[in-house]
Chains A and B, each alone.
Chain A
Amino acid sequence: MRKLDRLSIGGLACLLVLVLFALGSPAGAGGDPDAIVGPRLQPPGPGWWLGTDNLGRSVLPRVMEGVGTTLLLSSVAVLVTAVLSAAFGILAGYRGGYLNELVMRLVEVLYSFPAIVLAILVAAVLGPGQTAALASIVLVTIPLMTRLVRAAAVAVAQRDYVTSAVISGAGLPRVLVRHVLPNVAGTIAVQGTYALSVGIAVEGGLSFLGFGVQPPQASLGVLIQQGGTYMIAAPWLILGPGVVLVAAILAINVVGDGLRDRLEPRETRSLT
């Protein structure tokens, strides 16, 4: 097995820093994210290292809380996506027939919506909040992952070891769990990282529009939305969460590329 390349190790390190940064919030580092600590809209200085917002709250602990909210929400959503996509993709790819048609047509319907429109639709049905953000991320990321898992499962289903297992009398659950799943796991892992970065972007977008995480709880989207109002007078409000958002998405994508190179070496690399 080849190791991850330097770029992805950098991305992994960046993610680790962000997670530690987020873990600092419940640990009390940086102070209470909801406490008013000073005058309104102060530039960065001692006592408020990233400045204060329009209510006089320190931005640093709010960014820490925001990263945590966003990462947790996205990760949980991507786990749900991974489980559902793996189940449907593998079944559709291996069994084919009507089940395959049904799953693929449903996925195509979902795929035809622009991500943010789909997310707003979900928020309109479920009402704004964390549940809506979570469901949106799942619905936005599920089509691509299901399609790719299905494609991988179709390829695996034709391989001789699967045929041999069927000839030996192995039942469907055994074939799927012992032969198909382990051989499409690479695809799931790689797509999972991409789904995570899409999830972060969707959460940011939805919260930015006010349909996602609700204030006073902070998420990157909420912070960017609030910061946007004072962009000219207090650019530090949007700079902190903006940089963190970009860093998180970039780092996850780079790690995803590295993972893909390692697990699916025949794929060509799109970046770098």
Chain B
Amino acid sequence: MILELDDVTVTFAAGPPLRRIHLDAMRHVSLSVAEGETLGLVGESGSGKTTTSRVALGLQRPTAGTVRFDGRPFPRRRRALAGRMQAVLQHPHWSLNPRMRVGQSVAEPLDVLGRPAGDAVAEMLEHVGLDAGFAGRYPHELSGGQRQRVSIARALITRPGFIVFDEAVSALDVSVQVQILNLIKDLQAEYGFSALFISHDLGAVRYVADRIAVMRAGEIVETADTPTFYTAPAHEYSKQLLEAL
């Protein structure tokens, strides 16, 4: 198992000290991602998908429960995991620093590790279907689809074992979505990374995921293999979601 969440609860507190409201963003969530597997996480807005991704990436400490990456508990310092997990995030508009050239952005994860980038940037850009010349451009010169390709190149450059795609295609046009989803599948076949693919779009998840987990109000209501889930969902809520598709 590359990633295991065991009985994870995350509680946020808000409001003034005496009338503080506690809100569970995740309630006793257990899920796991195996080597080379893609787990699709679906659910409506506010169901706790993004909190789950933040916990999986070590950006959010769970209130209770344990998280294991590659069989070991999360290290205290994020830096210890640098380069071994990456993410492709939601907004193509904000995924790249507007003041950095594309090449610098793609090279940054290597830079952080103190490894020389060399030809890796050009190679990686070509791998995600972009011309090597894109390295010299600024993000505002790119389309949404191109920016997500650059994000994917940046995520892959350290050859991580695990990548989180948090609504990575949701903001794109349908035709571009398909291209990016195909790219993700091709790259996964080539590099063999595991993935947590988070989306509210059941169609997109079906395309890339091996297994599906359904979240509602901070809880996992169902986990099933993709074919099983789409043909015979077990939980009432899953049925509703599929009917709405």
Interface residues of A (CB under 8 A from B): 159-161, 163-171, 174, 178-179, 182-183
In this complex, what residue of A is CB-closest to B88? A164
Pairwise interchain contact B108-A183, C-beta atoms closer than 8 A: no
Q: How far is the CA of A169 from the CA of B151 in the complex (A)?
A: 16
Pairwise interchain contact B108-A160, C-beta atoms closer than 8 A: no
Pairwise interchain contact A160-B95, C-beta atoms closer than 8 A: yes
In this complex, what residue of B is CB-closest to A179? B97
Q: How far is the CA of A159 from the CA of B59 in the complex (A)?
A: 14
Known: A169-B82, A170-B108. Contact between A164 and B99, CB under 8 A?
no
Residues of chain B contacted by A182 (CB below 8 angstroms): 97, 99-100
Interface size, chain B (Cβ < 8 Å): 29
Q: How far is the CA of A159 from the CA of B113 in the complex (A)?
A: 22
Known: A160-B89, A160-B94. Contact between A168 and B99, CB under 8 A?
no
User: 9 shortest A-B CB distances, which residue pairs?
Assistant: A169-B82, A182-B99, A168-B109, A160-B89, A159-B94, A161-B97, A160-B94, A160-B95, A169-B79
Is residue B91 within 8 Å, beta carbon to beta carbon, of the partner chain?
yes
Known: A168-B108, A182-B97, A183-B98. Contact between A163 and B87, CB under 8 A?
yes
Q: How far is the CA of A178 from the CA of B97 in the complex (A)?
A: 9
Interface centre among B90, B94, B95, B98 (most CB of A within 10 A): B94
Is residue B65 within 8 Å, beta carbon to beta carbon, of the partner chain?
no
A-B residue pairs in contact (CB < 8 Å), sample of 13: A160-B91, A160-B94, A161-B94, A161-B97, A164-B87, A164-B155, A167-B86, A168-B86, A168-B108, A169-B81, A169-B112, A169-B113, A170-B112
Q: How far is the CA of A163 from the CA of B90 in the complex (A)?
A: 11
Residues of chain A contacted by B57 (CB below 8 angstroms): 167
In this complex, what residue of B is CB-closest to A181? B99
Pairwise interchain contact A166-B59, C-beta atoms closer than 8 A: yes
In this complex, what residue of B is CB-closest to A159? B94
In this complex, what residue of B is CB-closest to A161? B97
What's the minimum C-beta distance from A170 to chain B, rounded to whole angstroms? Answer: 5
Interface centre among A161, A167, A178, A182 (most CB of B within 10 A): A167
Q: How far is the CA of A182 from the CA of B81 in the complex (A)?
A: 27
What's the minimum C-beta distance from A270 to chain B, rounded to whole angstroms? Answer: 26
In this complex, what residue of B is CB-closest to A186? B99
Q: How far is the CA of A179 from the CA of B104 in the complex (A)?
A: 12
Question: Within the complex, which residue of B81, B85, B86, B105 is in contact with A161, where a contact is CB–CB below 8 Å?
Answer: B105
Pairwise interchain contact A164-B95, C-beta atoms closer than 8 A: yes
Known: A168-B83, A168-B112, A169-B81. Contact between A163 and B59, CB under 8 A?
yes
Is residue B78 within 8 Å, beta carbon to beta carbon, of the partner chain?
yes
What's the minimum C-beta distance from B82 to chain A, rounded to whole angstroms? Answer: 2
Q: How far is the CA of A170 from the CA of B100 in the complex (A)?
A: 15
Pairwise interchain contact A169-B89, C-beta atoms closer than 8 A: no
Question: Within the complex, which residue of A167, A171, A183 is in contact with B87, where a contact is CB–CB below 8 Å?
Answer: A167
What's the minimum C-beta distance from A135 to chain B, rounded to whole angstroms? Answer: 33
In this complex, what residue of A is CB-closest to B164? A167
Q: How far is the CA of A160 from the CA of B168 in the complex (A)?
A: 11
Q: How far is the CA of A183 from the CA of B94 in the complex (A)?
A: 12
Q: How far is the CA of A183 from the CA of B155 in the complex (A)?
A: 22
Q: How far is the CA of A171 from the CA of B112 in the complex (A)?
A: 8
**Besides A167-B85, A169-B81, 15 other A-B contacts (C-beta < 8 A):** A159-B91, A160-B91, A161-B97, A161-B105, A163-B87, A163-B89, A164-B155, A165-B108, A167-B59, A167-B87, A168-B83, A168-B154, A169-B79, A169-B83, A178-B100
What's the minimum C-beta distance from A100 to chain B, rounded to whole angstroms? Answer: 16
Q: How far is the CA of A179 from the CA of B90 in the complex (A)?
A: 18
Q: How far is the CA of A236 from the CA of B91 in the complex (A)?
A: 61
Residues of chain B contacted by A167 (CB below 8 angstroms): 57, 59, 78, 85-87
Q: How far is the CA of A155 from the CA of B32 in the complex (A)?
A: 33
Is residue B195 within 8 Å, beta carbon to beta carbon, of the partner chain?
no
Is residue B96 within 8 Å, beta carbon to beta carbon, of the partner chain?
yes
Question: Within the complex, which residue of A159, A164, A171 is in contact with B151, where a contact is CB–CB below 8 Å?
Answer: A164
Residues of chain A contacted by B199 (CB below 8 angstroms): none
Interface centre among B87, B108, B113, B154 (most CB of A within 10 A): B108
Residues of chain B contacted by A165 (CB below 8 angstroms): 108, 112
Is residue B238 within 8 Å, beta carbon to beta carbon, of the partner chain?
no
Q: How far is the CA of A160 from the CA of B105 in the complex (A)?
A: 12
In this complex, what residue of A is CB-closest to B84? A169
Q: How far is the CA of A129 from the CA of B90 in the complex (A)?
A: 55
Residues of chain A contacted by B97 (CB below 8 angstroms): 161, 178-179, 182-183
In this complex, what residue of A is CB-closest to B92? A160
Residues of chain A contacted by B79 (CB below 8 angstroms): 169, 171
Interface centre among B97, B98, B155 (most CB of A within 10 A): B97
Is residue B158 within 8 Å, beta carbon to beta carbon, of the partner chain?
yes
